[in-house]
């Protein structure tokens, strides 16, 4: 079964670029979403047993923690990386690494290596 990487970002162009980077790094099939509802729907549509080794989520820690998406990604074994201005503002208060913007493919690769995906 193919691994998937969730890329939930509000900017479709940045999401596409990040999806290509993750395909190169981990060989993941991308799941791209631009809203929380879309991300939840796409993860819910995955078959039982589908693995999501890595997920980039455009939410702050305080918004992600109580979300349905948080529970869904935990079920799929995802290591979550938060992205976006709100995540950056709460970076010290969360349980997840934050990818600071703007970022490069090299920074993504370094972060993926540090969280041991």
Residue 102 has pLDDT above 80, yes or no: yes
More confident residue, 49 or 96: 96
Residue 49 has pLDDT above 90, yes or no: no
111-114 own/partner pairs: CB under 8 Å, 24+ apart? 111/81, 112/25, 112/26, 112/54
Residue 1: what pLDDT? 58
- At residue 109 the predicted structure's pLDDT band, cuts being 50, 70 and 90, is very high
Residue 93 has pLDDT above 90, yes or no: no
Distance between CA atoms of residues 16 and 7, nearest Å: 8
The whole domain housing 73 covers 4-114
Average pLDDT, the chain: 93
Distance between CA atoms of residues 26 and 93, nearest Å: 28
Distance between CA atoms of residues 15 and 54, nearest Å: 14
- Give Cα separations from 112 to 3, 37, 41, 46 (angstroms): 15, 25, 25, 23
Mean pLDDT of all residues in 4-14: 95
Q: Cβ distance 52 to 4 under 8 Å?
A: yes
Report the predicted TM-score, pTM, of the whole model to 2 decimal places. 0.94
DSSP state of 96: S
- Total number of domains in the chain: 1
Domain CATH for 18:
3.40.50.2300
């Amino acid at each position: 079964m193919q691994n998937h990487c969730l890329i939930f970002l509000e900017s479709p162009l940045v999401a596409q670029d990040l999806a290509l980077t993750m395909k190169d790094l981990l060989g993941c099939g991308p799941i791209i979403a631009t809203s929380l509802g879309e991300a939840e729907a796409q993860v819910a549509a995955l078959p039982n047993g589908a693995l999501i080794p890595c997920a980039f989520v455009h939410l702050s820690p305080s918004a992600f923690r109580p979300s349905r998406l948080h529970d869904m990604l935990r079920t799929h074994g995802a290591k979550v990386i938060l992205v976006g201005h709100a995540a950056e503002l709460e970076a010290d208060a969360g349980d997840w690494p934050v990818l600071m913007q703007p970022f490069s493919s090299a920074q993504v690769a370094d972060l993926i290596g540090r969280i041991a995906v």
